[in-house]
Amino acid sequence: MLFCAIFVLLAMLGLLANMYHLQVQEHQALQTRSNDNRIKLLPLAPNRGLIYDRNGVLLAENMPVYSLEIVPEEIADMSVLLNDLKPLLSLDEETLNQFREQLKRQRRFAHVTLVDEMNEQQLNIFAANQHRFPGVSIEARLVRHYPYGELFTHALGYVAKINRRDVERLREEEKLANYAATRTIGKLGVERFYEDKLHGEVGYQRVEVNNRGRVIRTVDIEPPKPGQDIYLEIDSRLQRKATELLKGRRGSIIMMDARNGGILTMVSAPSYDPNWFVNGISYKHYQQLLNSSDSPLLNRSTQGGYPPASTVKPMLAILGLEDEIITPTTRIWDPGWFEIKGAKRRYRDWLAWGHGWVNVSKAIIVSCDTFFYDLALKLGIDRISEFMNKFGFGDYTGIDIAEETDAVMPSRGWKRARFNLPWYAGETVSVGIGQSYWTATPMQLTVATGILATGGSHFVPRLLHSSRQQGERVLAAHEEFPPIVLKNPSNWDVVHDAMVEVNNGAEGGARRAFKDTPYISAGKTGTAQVRSLGENEEYNAEEIDERYRDNAMYVGYAPADTPEVVIAIALENTLGGGGSVAAPVARQMLDAYFDRENQPTPSEIDDADD
């Protein structure tokens, strides 16, 4: 008995010691763990910021989407319910099977989605019959919607469902917690580049739950902070005009504010509807887009690599004048061809019988190939490549979307690294007219032309105009690269005057397109070969495959004396060159820009779209 009494006493002391440890020493930790089991934080998704054009026209909005949801524990017989809903809402067997699979993974008191996106007919029918289906309800959420469809796709981009790669990236950037309740994320364009501004901050609902996880009551709510609304530099009216002009064509039209780099228009054609991606595009549909010979997924404005052709002759002229290889009065004889000393091949001018005596100004005005063959050979590829890098060729422009290529500004080192081959003089000759390995994006051409227009100022192209949150609107900063400073600033004037003559002079390549304009503009046409021709081979656009026809190019700015807007146009595989095809398109775009008295209000633009 003494032994049992001592054992019981020791056991009691042990229990008391353990109670002291639990109730006193571990009180705070255990209370916290208890509350963690009792109190749950449910994330609340923020409303995504809206996107407007420069005039306040809504380009990306949040639209309500309705889903049909069922609470299983409130349904007496699930099979009977599904059999009743199937003909009522025209549900297919695949939808019902997906719902049955979800039931196996969800708790009986949780809402399970039967129809993720109800159409208007389904909404109306169920609303009229809802009294027959206790435990079944319509729930609403906001999803991204692009009211203008394909009109702004390559600028805006789109949002789509968050996938595994997005989760991994957000985890690496320590942003995953902010997407706890978010279904979609910016994938392309402005939607992706300004994701941090547009997304907002997640909120939380603090709820009390029982031991089975059922919500008993809401304790408090920390509301989410909506994303910032952003305004783009893009003008909807000009964007619509550019889209109309590119209908049925492949190519790009860009207009940029010459004074600060703001992108007024950026259209790549053909395009596609970004709304297809918001809730998940089918594999078959995506493959059709991906494998299309017209490449609608490619943003030609920033990813299309085109031989710049004669549009870069003004820049080459600047280099020749700066390095004193030529002067404004230097003349050469153009018989219609050019030969490298000691070589047999002749490099043809576009005018078979030649232009006779030409100086640098006339060479730009009439786009004399022979003059620039000769100039390029005297300059050499090293000097050409180094100087053109200052105009932004062979490098990213810095535009605020991720979809951009740096294209190719060839050099000796580039060719050795790419092909392990030496550079040849004949390749330098072709570079002199913007051909050979040289490629440029329309955005690079726009920026380079802007440098010519402003006499050296190098603006970073920008889509974002301003952002707004809680009623305050903040203008975006305009960035600049170091300007190009010439030893002789008057060389800018030589090229500028020649480009004015291109559009307005008696011999200018774009004179017909710009006849009788109420404004004075400057420009340069170009016709880029897609397929090389043999020395004696003749080019006939109507007899060759459409995909091998030349590209029509145009760059320019207006007004010529005080430039406001820069324009670059690239049209693929056309019947005609830059002067006959691209320049008329540029004329219509500039006419639209200067037609300020007849500009519609934002509401008129919306009405026209409807």
Cβ distance 66 to 123 under 8 Å?
Answer: yes
Q: Helix/strand/coil (H, E, C) string of 113-170? A: EEECCCCHHHHHHHHHHHHHCCCEEEEEEEEEECCCHHHHHHHHCCEEECCHHHHHHH
**334 a known binding residue?**
yes
Query: Which residue in the block uniquely carries the two structure tokens 């706890």?
Result: 180
Report strand pairing: 136-145 vs 337-339: unpaired
Residue whose tokens read 């040849």:
424
Q: Is 4 annotated as a binding residue?
A: no
Distance CA 386, CA 413 (A): 12
For residue 40, list its beta bridge partners.
207
Q: Are strands 203-209 and 215-222 parallel, antiparallel or unpaired?
A: antiparallel
Is residue 274 within 8 Å of residue 296, measured between CB atoms?
no
Catalytic residue among 310, 361, 411, 436: 310
The vertex-601 CA angle with 596 and 603, nearest 5°, equals 160
Question: Count of residues for the chain?
Answer: 610
| Residue 236 appears among annotated catalytic residues | no
Query: 192: which 2 tokens?
Result: 């992706």
Contacts by residues 513-520 (CB-CB < 8 Å, ≥ 24 positions apart)? 513/579, 513/583, 513/584, 513/586, 513/587, 514/583, 514/587, 517/587, 517/590, 517/591, 518/594, 519/558, 519/559, 519/590, 519/594, 520/558, 520/559, 520/560, 520/561
DSSP string over 293-316: TT-TTS-HHHH--B--GGGGHHHH
Q: Are 456 and 483 in contact (CB under 8 A)?
A: yes
User: How far is residue 489's CA from residue 388's CA, in Å, rounded to a whole number?
Assistant: 17
368 has binding-site annotation: yes
Per DSSP, the three-state class of 409 is coil
Q: Which helix (H) or strand (E) holds 179?
A: none
Interior/surface letters 379-417, b for 16+ CB within 10 angstroms, e for the rest: bebebbbebbebbbbbbebbbbbebbbbbbbbbeebbee
Which one-letter amino acid corresponds to residue 496? Answer: H
Residue with tokens 């010529």: 560
Tokens representing residue 440 in the block: 């440029």
79/88 Cα distance (integer angstroms): 15
CB 376 within 8 A of CB 316: yes
Q: Distance (Å, rounded) from C-alpha 122 to C-alpha 66?
A: 10
Q: Tokens in use for 202?
A: 């997640």
Transcribe 268-286 into DSSP letters.
Answer: EES---THHHHT---HHHH
- Whose tokens are 């005609």? That residue is 576
Structure tokens given for 246: 């590119």
**Active-site residue list:** 310
- Known binding-site residue numbers: 334, 349, 355, 368
Annotated binding residues for Zn(2+), written as ranges, equal 334, 349, 355, 368
